[in-house]
Amino acid sequence: MDIVHQYWPFLISAAFLSWILLQRYGTPLRKIPGPFHASWTRLPRFIAVASGRPHEWELKLHRKYGRIVRVGPDLVSVGDPAAINIIYNANDKFKKSRFYLPFMVYDEEGMLPDPLVINDKALHTRMKKNAYTAYSMGAMLQLEPLVEKVTERFFALLDKRPTCDLGKWLRFYATDVIFAVTFGEDLGFMEKGDPIGMMPMLEYVVGDYVAIVGTVPWLHKFLLGNRFVARLALGENGLEGAALDLALKQVDKFRQKMAASAGGMDGPCTFVHRLLEHQKKDPESITDRELNTHAFGNITAGADTTAIAMRTIMFNVARHPDIYRALCREIRDEAGLKLPVSYATASALPYLDAVIKEALRIHPPNGVMYCRTVPPEGATICDKFLPGGTEVGISPWVVHYDDELFPDPERFEPERWLAADADLVARRKRSIFAFSAGSHTCLGKNISLMEITKLIASLLVRYDISLEDPDGNMSFKCRWFTPQTGLIVKLKIRDS
Ligand code: HEM
């Protein structure tokens, strides 16, 4: 005992050192290159995400160590576009990892069947199947008149603001659009600001908390995963609970409207209407809880992501006079678009399409790796063996800045998507990872693309747009979402 007393500092240091060496070398992951400190602790990555710069940290590591990097004791970042098909494919062998624990929302029946987080293949397939038609582009196109009504109100508000924070307005706009297409009516975010106090929940819980705590998921049960702490921090039913309540209320309201109309509802068939009709025809195919969860998912996943993409487009178009001129020429002179702009005409414009692709490449709306767990038998990725249970992921920021595929990746260059080399363009398209890939690909992609394409064309039909500070930059934080601030523009109404 005396020896322990005398040498305890030495013993503790020796034990700590042995533990570090075990973490570093006592696993097949020792063969994966990466910084020494990240091989025994997740702290460096936690700090990178908490400080809102994981994209810079990961890119720097990939440029130094190559396409596969050990960024935590049991966490590997992959930067090889060819690995997308291995990790994210339809057979779901690589399950969602513990990173998604903080995304999970519970009601009295347990965890909500949110497609984003469920690992039960049969349930996930059913969830996707029961909403497939409602998310399809065909369904979206029927909703164009609803989007156009929101756009009309948006322009009436912008008309009165020759200089404005367009970034802030785009967020309100995207929120009203997602409510309109989901429930047939919006809550007037554009007119009233944030009438239900939902935006802080989206920003700080869905955007920041999940990404930061997702890097060290065991922490979650001591934070918002603990009912008491969640109540203390977020109020009685938690802020996500508020979004869920809102979804339930809106769905109920719709049900009542449908019942009152005796089957003869006015207007286009909204997302919830389609799901309810589907349920009426085949009650077994979708439960009430699944239906409500889809509506909840639209509220939490649909607005910020789309607003981020629209900000990137407007900033880069306004920032580069040659791109601005080329896009205006296509939209105004060659296609002669008028308001309201239809998706069919706008989506056929190659330069606009290239601008949208380039915006999703240069500034993906999601900022961290979409993490998965290597299946029990292990997997070989970038010629390295990863044992079962390793957490692995690809960040869209890493693949989108691959300088072999996208030379000078920091440059906004829509022309990359119009290059003569068809093979190269096809490889670039396969590497675009903003909407993820495989069985968990974004379900709302069609809604977003329809909304973005129509709005960007409409803005340029309606206004001459310039940055208030032509040399200024937006700033942004990179977490689960990558929201920017500082898109201040001058708008001049055109004779359109
Ligand atoms: C530019 C806009 C958007 C981007 C960049 C985006 C991005 C993503 C990404 C990266 C994922 C998958 C994450 C992973 O693999 O773990 C995802 C999933 C999902 N997104 Fe989106 N999203 C966008 C818009 C929307 C919209 C408008 C909606 C709903 C209306 C939506 C609903 C969903 C849903 C339900 C999932 C879960 C799908 C599944 O796991 O099966 N998203 N999104």
| Domain contains 410 | yes
Task: Give DSSP secondary structure letters for 89-140.
Answer: -TT--SEE-GGGGGG--EETTEE---TTT---HHHHHHHHHHHHHHHSHHHH
For residues 287 and 267, what is the distance between their CA atoms, to the nearest angstrom?
25
- For the CA of 303, the nearest atom of ligand 1: 27
Distance 448 CA to ligand 1 centre (A): 9
**Residues of the binding site:** 442
Point out the residues of the chain with pLDDT beneath 50.
Answer: none
Domain CATH code at residue 335 = 1.10.630.10
Distance 306 CA to ligand 1 centre (A): 10
Looking at residue 245, what is its pLDDT?
84
Query: Is any ligand 1 atom within 6 A of the Cβ of residue 370?
Result: yes
| Domain contains 75 | no
Instruction: Say what the pTM is.
Output: 0.96
| Domain contains 360 | yes
Looking at residue 453, what is its pLDDT?
98
Which residue range(s) make up the domain with 282? 103-370+395-493
Residue pointed to by tokens 């995400």: 49
Query: Is any ligand 1 atom within 6 A of the Cβ of residue 447?
Result: yes
| Domain contains 27 | no
Distances (CA, A) of 269 to 125, 182, 264, 266, 275: 24, 9, 11, 8, 10
Number of folded domains in the chain? 1
Query: Is any ligand 1 atom within 6 A of the Cβ of residue 117?
Result: no
To the nearest 5 percent, what fractions of the chain are helix, strand and coil?
60, 10, 30
| Domain contains 74 | no
Instruction: Give the residue, by CA position, lying nearest to ligand 1 atom 32.
Output: 444
For residues 354 and 349, what is the distance between their CA atoms, to the nearest angstrom?
9
Looking at residue 399, what is its pLDDT?
98
For residues 101 and 106, what is the distance between their CA atoms, to the nearest angstrom?
11
Query: Is any ligand 1 atom within 6 A of the Cβ of residue 215?
Result: no
| Domain contains 62 | no
Per-position b or e across 175-211, b if 16+ CB within 10 A of its CB: bbbbbbbbbbbbbebbeeeeeeebbebbbebbbbbbb
Distance 295 CA to ligand 1 centre (A): 13
Query: Is any ligand 1 atom within 6 A of the Cβ of residue 113?
Result: no
Query: Is any ligand 1 atom within 6 A of the Cβ of residue 397?
Result: no
**Residues of the binding site for heme:** 442
Paired strand residues for 385: 380
Query: Is any ligand 1 atom within 6 A of the Cβ of residue 393?
Result: no
Secondary structure of residue 476 in the 3-state scheme: strand
Query: Is any ligand 1 atom within 6 A of the Cβ of residue 371?
Result: no
| Domain contains 7 | no
Query: Which residues neighbour 220 within 8 Å (Cβ) at sequence distance 6 or greater?
Result: 101, 102, 213
Residue pointed to by tokens 């240091």: 13
| Domain contains 467 | yes
Distance 436 CA to ligand 1 centre (A): 8
For residues 392 and 311, what is the distance between their CA atoms, to the nearest angstrom?
30
For residues 155 and 455, what is the distance between their CA atoms, to the nearest angstrom?
10
Four-CA torsion 429, 434, 436, 440, nearest 10 degrees:
-120
Mutational test site, ligand 1, from 442, 445, 481, max ligand atoms within 8 Å of CB: 442
